[in-house]
Structure formats: C-alpha cells, structure tokens
Amino acid sequence: MEPRTADFRTIAREILRLARLLPVPLTLYVLCAATAYSFIDWTFGDAFTWFETLVLLADGYLVYVLTFLLMAEAGLFADGKRGGFLAFLLVSIVSGMLIFLGTLALIIPGLILFARWSPAVCDVLVRNEGVTDALGRSWDATSASMTALLPHAVIAMCGYTAVSLLELLPDRVLGIAPLGFVFIANVVGAMSVAWGVLLSVATYRLLMTPLPDHASGDGAGYAPANGAGQSPA
C-alpha cells in the first residue's frame, strides 16, 4: 500500500488542532519542566547530580503522559493501548541517540531522522511490537511526506538551539546567566519538546491511522475518543 501524504499546512493545522484539545496539560508541562530545569541550572550549574537524573526520568514520564493524553483525546486507541512507559522510553532513547548523532555529523541527517521517526513513539503505544518495528513503520509511513515534515523538525531543532544561546550569551557577556534568562531558555526548551509531542501525534494520526476522514485528504475531524477512559500506566 502506498504511503499517505500530508503537506506542510495540513500538518500545521493538525498540530494546532491537537494543541487546542489539551491547552492546560500542555501549558502545565511547559511551566513545570521549565521550573525544574531552571532550579537545576541555578543550583547545581554544570554539575550532573542524582537529582537531575530523577528530574530527567520524571520529565520523560510527563512527556509519555502528555503523548498518551493527546492520543486518547484524538481517539487513536480504538483497539486499546498496548505499549507502556518502558516501550515509549526505549523508542525515545534509541531514536533520540541516533538523531543526536546525525545532528552532530552534518545536522541534515539528524533533521531527516527526526522527521521520519516522529510518529514512532505513538506507534509503539498502539502496537507495542518492538523498537525496530516502530521505527521501521514510521520510516515507511513518512516517506512520501518528508519535505513537508522537515520544516516542522527544523522548528523543534531551532528551539533546542535557542536554549543554548539564551544561556551562553549572558554568561559570556555578564559572566553569569541571570535566572530570568535561564528560565526563558528552559521555557523555550520545554515548548520545543511539546512541539515535538504534537508533531508526533499529528504525524501518526495523518499518516499511520486508517481513519475514515483521511479519505477526503483534509485530515479534518476526529474519531470518538475511545481511549479517553484508559490509564497511561
């Protein structure tokens, strides 16, 4: 079966539609993550501590819950949720490491991997058939829409880059990064993560879920929220 296609505007509209479904959880995530990482940066600086490890794990779980809530609200668990946090975490770690290495190499490979693997975390929650299967299905499903997905991947990557700039520039100029700059930097970082979650769910829904409204090509409307009563655990 030929992979479905989605243009840039269709993906953008889907992201905005998903964001309107759960504005409060998205906002709470951004504020909580920004506050936690700002506390770490201001208190411990560059030193890596066990507290930061706990915050990273908690952040990963919050991202998982946010992904689950968006998918459930959009009705993407018609047959139930099969994958859990560990499956989500494994896919996130494996794809994240490869995207990071691709970005370090030539930047473009990292952007391509980010775009092509964006729906993999959603696929593993629905099917739970393994990391390589989720990444493979995601790669195949996004093959016809890569050029439309790349700008959205660039938006997320620019957010991650802005975090470093907002923290490094005041430090170079003033000798210390004021707490305000640190907090703003972490808000931008958390918003980039939230954008990545929205992109993952939007891409999965448009390209990997056989919903009747896709037949019209506009991606409008939602299936009943069959997963709304489920627990993310």
Q: Please say if the pLDDT value at position 206 is more than 70.
A: yes
CB-based contact 222:201 (threshold 8 Å): no
Distance, in Å, from the CA atom of 232 to the CA atom of 169, rounded to the nearest integer, reads 40
pLDDT band at 174 (very low <50, low <70, confident <90, very high): low
Look at residue 231 in the predicted model and tell me its pLDDT.
63
- Residue 46 Cα distances to 37, 38, 76, angstroms: 12, 12, 40
Q: Please say if the pLDDT value at position 1 is more than 80.
A: no
| CB-CB neighbours of 230 under 10 Å | 14
pTM for this prediction: 0.86
CB-based contact 91:131 (threshold 8 Å): yes
Amino acid at 90: L
More confident: 226 or 53 = 53
Structure tokens at 126: 């629905």
Q: Please say if the pLDDT value at position 140 is more than 50.
A: yes
Q: What is the mean pLDDT of the chain?
A: 86
Q: Please say if the pLDDT value at position 65 is more than 70.
A: yes
Look at residue 212 in the predicted model and tell me its pLDDT.
58
Nearest partner of 187 among 53, 58, 29, judged by Cα: 29
Look at residue 219 in the predicted model and tell me its pLDDT.
45
DSSP symbol at 223: -
Q: What is the pLDDT of residues 83-106, one digit of tens each?
A: 899 999 999 999 999 999 998 888
pLDDT band at 6 (very low <50, low <70, confident <90, very high): very high
Q: Please say if the pLDDT value at position 16 is more than 80.
A: yes
Look at residue 216 in the predicted model and tell me its pLDDT.
44
